[in-house]
Amino acid sequence: MGEKTYLLLLLLFVLGPVASVSLPPLILKFFNPDFNQYENKMAEHDDDILPVTGRSAMKCKQCLWPKSEDGTVVVPYNFSSKYSDSELNLFQSSMQDYETLTCVRFVPRTTEKDFLNIKSSKGCVAYVGRIGGGQMVGLDSAGCMFRGIIQHELNHALGFYHEHTRSDRDDYVTIMYQYIPPAKLEFFKKLDTNNLGLAYDYGSVMHVGKNVFSNTPGKLTIVPKPDPNVTIGQRDGLSPLDVAKINRLYQCDVCANLLNNKNGSLTSANYPSAYPNNVNCVWLIRTPSQQVTLNFEAFDVQSSPDCMSDYIKIYDGPTKNYPLLLDRTCGTGLIPPIIASTRQLLVEFSSDSSVTGVGFKALYGSVKCGGTFYIPKGTFQSPGYPNAYGPNLRCIFTITAPVDKKISVTISGFQTESGTYCTHDYLSMADGTSRWGPFCGDRTIPVIKSETNSLTLTFVSDATVQRRGFQASYIFT
Residues annotated catalytic, as ranges = 153
Best CA proximity match to 293, nearest among 341, 360, 226: 341
Distance of CA 90 to the CA centre of its chain: 11
Whether residue 51 is preceded by a cis peptide bond, meaning omega within 30 degrees of 0, is: no
Ramachandran category for residue 200: left, alpha or beta (phi over 0 → left; psi -120 to 50 → alpha) = beta
* Residue 430, burial from CB neighbour count under 10 angstroms (0-12, 13-18, 19+): middle
Taking a C-beta distance cutoff of 8 angstroms, is the pair 208, 164 a contact? yes
Distance between CA atoms of residues 235 and 38, nearest Å: 11
Strand-pair category, 124-127 with 49-50:
parallel
CA 254 distance to own-chain centroid? 18
Beta bridge partners of 77: 108, 116
For residue 226, cis peptide bond before it (omega within 30 degrees of 0) = yes
β partners of residue 135 = 116
- State how beta strands 73-79 and 115-119 pair: parallel
Cis peptide before 17 (omega within 30 of 0): no
Strands 407-415 and 469-476: antiparallel
Q: How far apart are CA 416 and CA 426, in angstroms?
A: 7
Cα→Cα distances 444→305, 370, 394, 424, 435, Å: 43, 22, 21, 18, 17
Q: How many angstroms separate the most distant Cα atoms in the chain?
A: 79
CA distances to 208, 250, 293 from 58, rounded to whole Å, are 18, 11, 38
CB of 129 closer than 8 Å to CB of 135: no
Helices (H) and strands (E) in the chain, counts: 6, 27
Name the residue type at position 215.
N
Given the DSSP bridges, would you call strands 73-79 and 104-108 parallel, antiparallel or unpaired? parallel
Instruction: Specify the pairing of strand 291-301 against strand 359-367.
Output: antiparallel
Angle of CA points 94, 39, 95, to nearest 5°: 5
